Amino acid sequence: MKAMQTEILDIDYTPYVSLTGTAHFTRRSLIEAFKTVKETEPKNVAVELDPRRFMTLNQQSIVGHDFQRCEFIGAAEALGNVDANIWLIDMTEKEIRARISRLMTPAEAFRRPVLYDEYGGIDEVRLWEAGYKEMVIERCMKRLEALRATKPSVWQVLIEDRNTLMAARLAWIASKMVDSKDDPRILAFVGAAHVAGIEKLLQNADLIRKNLMEYDVPFRPPTLVRRVGVVAA
């Protein structure tokens, strides 16, 4: 984490990072991700996945499990036969579980969890598919606030810690591209609940550093999956 201090530039990163908020495993998000990649033709795509989840989801897609395809894999597939970078920017599931286990207090462990139907029990996947994206995000944020009140450690890891790490990794990618004179623009796909927090962090490199220290989030560079265009014989 200490090495991170000199590896990102002191700039506003929002002009370099285009964040797209998604709902995982919805057809609308898959179509939107595919369309966005095709329209913008990015050289750098960042997704809210770690290597293990990326490999698992990619293998499921290859063998034809369409019902398990997510927008992140769709975005990678939309790149097609071109030279491009796919960056995996999320914390691993093992790290998430370990951090929650370490931070959760006995009192939190015994508190009643936030139930899905506390805000009406409506099928939010259908709402998202029908185009009510803002309504779904609003309901999601209400549940997260309830989670923050009852289990703050879980909320911190799932939201603040991951926002911090993903913002740090996006800043690191852009910094490397700026330094090397490569195209620093990044198209990033993350869950809708993460967009506002990551955008706020990307505006201020010092805030990224502060959060890494405050939340004790170890920094490691994101995993790069290199796509190489193949010229037909």
pLDDT digits (tens, 9 = 90+) for 22-71: 877 667 777 888 888 889 889 999 999 999 998 888 777 654 444 456 77
Integer Cα distance of 233 and 230 in angstroms: 9
Residue pLDDT, tens place only, 163-220: 999 999 999 999 998 878 888 899 999 998 999 999 999 999 999 999 999 999 999 9
Of 169, 211, 177, 157, residue with least CA distance to 46: 169
Name the nearest CA neighbour of 68 among 34, 27, 96, 22: 27
Q: Which pLDDT does position 129 carry in this prediction?
A: 72
Q: Is the pTM of this model over 0.75?
A: yes
| Cα-trace Rg, the chain | 18
Q: How far apart are alpha carbons 164 and 210 in whole angstroms?
A: 9
* Exposure of 97 in the CB half-sphere (CA atoms within 13 A): 3
Provide the greatest CA pair distance for the chain. Answer: 65
Percent of the chain with pLDDT over 90: 46
Residue 83's Cα: distance from chain center in Å? 22
Mean predicted lDDT score pLDDT of the chain: 84
Alpha-carbon distance 10 to 178, whole Å? 12
CA-wise closest residue to 47 among 65, 29, 20, 69? 20
Q: pLDDT tens digits, residue range 87-128?
A: 999 999 999 999 999 999 999 988 876 555 554 556 777 777
84-88 sheet: strands from edge to edge: 17-22, 186-191, 44-47, 84-88, 223-227
Task: For the beta carbon of residue 136, count every other beta carbon within 10 angstroms.
Answer: 21
